Amino acid sequence: MCTGKCAKCTADLLFPLGLLAVVGNILLFFPNGEVWRTEEITENIWFFPGVIGGGLLAFLPASVMRAAGLEGSCCANRCGMMLSMLMSVLGVAGALYCMIVSVVGLQDGPLCDTGDGIFIYPFLNSTAEESYLFNQTSWTVCVQPHNVVMWNVVLFSILLSIGTLEAVLLLAQVINGLIGCLCGTCMNKNQIYFGDKSMFLGLLCTLYQAITIQVARNNITAPVQGSALFSVDITCVGTPAIRWTFISVNRHQSIAAWMLGGDANVTQMYEGRVETHPNGSLTISDLRLQDSGYYTITVTETSGNSKDMYMVLSVTGE
């Protein structure tokens, strides 16, 4: 599974949840759809659990996640995933804030007029056994605003549910961001995987992403008429298709393509100069100055999943 795509999906879920939290918080200011004075509004609403906790502090990490999950984005790399992980921690704090304020709001009950024109909290000192939440007949003690108890219970319950969902999604993104920071997002074609060939990282990424590509060197320098080995080590599911491509300012040229372990189809321009290897590596001999440029390997599984990796060749001398 691609960590970048997972981050983007999480962000796409957080945006509507955050919007619902903001709307729910705003509606709490208008019990029964009516406008009341500031001192007649339940105090817990003024802590803005939906606007701040469930809204703003969810939008911030969601924006970073979406950027980290967009192909070609400047954030679609390990740094972007690390930033999304840190922002997700902030988002978890916001979601917990939304949950705590909502729970307190449900526990204390609404501020209302019990019939004498004075606004109080009639359920504030109720025990768990006497809680108004389990005794709807007691809701009639609030005369004004009409239906204020139901209004608060429904909306605070919605905010509590939204905060819980956001906390779960953001905690998942903390883990996803950590893996993306270690393994890459698989969204940016220019990122290098496992340059240090760490066994732990290799195992972790193999479990999380179907295709991994290890390279011995990302930058290769070789003399004219010499040879260059583009050494790779591929881990994937099944037998993948391998394609090597040359990219420079002036041209974009296919070099060779083959199924791993099979015979290679070498482009006519490179016939006699290219040697393919069973592990997907490539050797180019009789180098020329115009061979300088980017060499990209594309690994495609039978399921259609693919991954790219690039190396740079600099040919020196006459």
Share of the chain above pLDDT 70, in %: 88
Cα 113 to Cα 107, 147, 267, distances in angstroms: 18, 12, 84
Task: Give pLDDT, residue 206.
Answer: 45
Q: The tokens of 270 are what?
A: 């490179």
Q: Among residues 136, 159, 183, which one ends one of the domains? A: 183
Residue 116 domain-assigned? yes
The DSSP output letter for 216 is S
> Which CATH number do you get for residue 260?
2.60.40.10
Q: Among residues 151, 183, 215, which one ends one of the domains? A: 183
31 in the same domain as 173? yes
Average pLDDT, integer, range 108-134: 88
CA gap 316, 221 in Å, rounded? 7
261 in the same domain as 131? no
CA gap 93, 274 in Å, rounded? 56
Amino acid at 247: I
65 in the same domain as 123? yes
Task: Give pLDDT, residue 200.
Answer: 46
221 in the same domain as 111? no
145 in the same domain as 87? yes
Residue 203 domain-assigned? yes
Sign of the dihedral defined by the CA atoms of residues 17, 20, 24, 26, in that order: positive
Task: Give pLDDT, residue 205.
Answer: 47
pLDDT digits (tens, 9 = 90+) for 131-168: 899 888 899 999 999 999 999 999 999 999 999 999 99
The DSSP output letter for 193 is B
CA dihedral 93, 95, 98, 104 (to 10 degrees): -80
pLDDT: is 212 or 199 the higher one? 212
pLDDT digits (tens, 9 = 90+) for 15-47: 999 999 999 999 999 998 999 999 999 999 999
The DSSP output letter for 244 is E
Q: Is the pLDDT of residue 76 over 90?
A: no
CA gap 297, 318 in Å, rounded? 28
140 in the same domain as 31? yes
DSSP H or E run through 195: none
Give the residues across from 145 on adjacent strands.
Answer: none
296 in the same domain as 157? no
Backbone φ and ψ for 229, nearest 5 degrees, come out as: -105, 120
CA neighbor of 134 nearest in space, from 109, 113, 159: 109
Task: Give pLDDT, residue 198.
Answer: 42
The answer to whether the bond into 122 is cis (omega within 30° of 0) is: no
266 in the same domain as 124? no
Q: Count of domains in the chain? A: 2
CA gap 72, 280 in Å, rounded? 26
CA gap 133, 136 in Å, rounded? 7
Number of neighbours of residue 96 by Cβ within 10 angstroms: 17
What is the extent of the structural domain holding 303?
199-316
Task: Give pLDDT, residue 208.
Answer: 47
Residue 194 domain-assigned? no
pLDDT digits (tens, 9 = 90+) for 242-273: 999 999 888 889 999 998 878 899 999 999 99
Task: Give pLDDT, residue 191.
Answer: 45
CA gap 283, 247 in Å, rounded? 16
235 in the same domain as 304? yes
Q: Is the pLDDT of residue 302 over 80?
A: no
Residue 192 domain-assigned? no
176 in the same domain as 31? yes
Q: Among residues 153, 183, 213, which one ends one of the domains? A: 183
Residue 193 domain-assigned? no
CA neighbor of 133 nearest in space, from 123, 125, 144: 123
228 in the same domain as 158? no
Residue 188 domain-assigned? no
203 in the same domain as 176? no
Residue 146 domain-assigned? yes
Residue 21 domain-assigned? yes
CA atoms within a 13 Å half-sphere pointing along the CA-CB vector of 78 = 10
CA gap 316, 318 in Å, rounded? 7
pTM (2 d.p.) = 0.60
Q: Is the pLDDT of residue 184 over 90?
A: no
Q: 237's torsion region: left (phi>0), alpha (psi -120 to 50) or beta?
A: beta
CA gap 270, 253 in Å, rounded? 10
pLDDT: is 2 or 28 the higher one? 28
Q: Is the pLDDT of residue 276 over 80?
A: yes
Residue with tokens 């840190």: 86
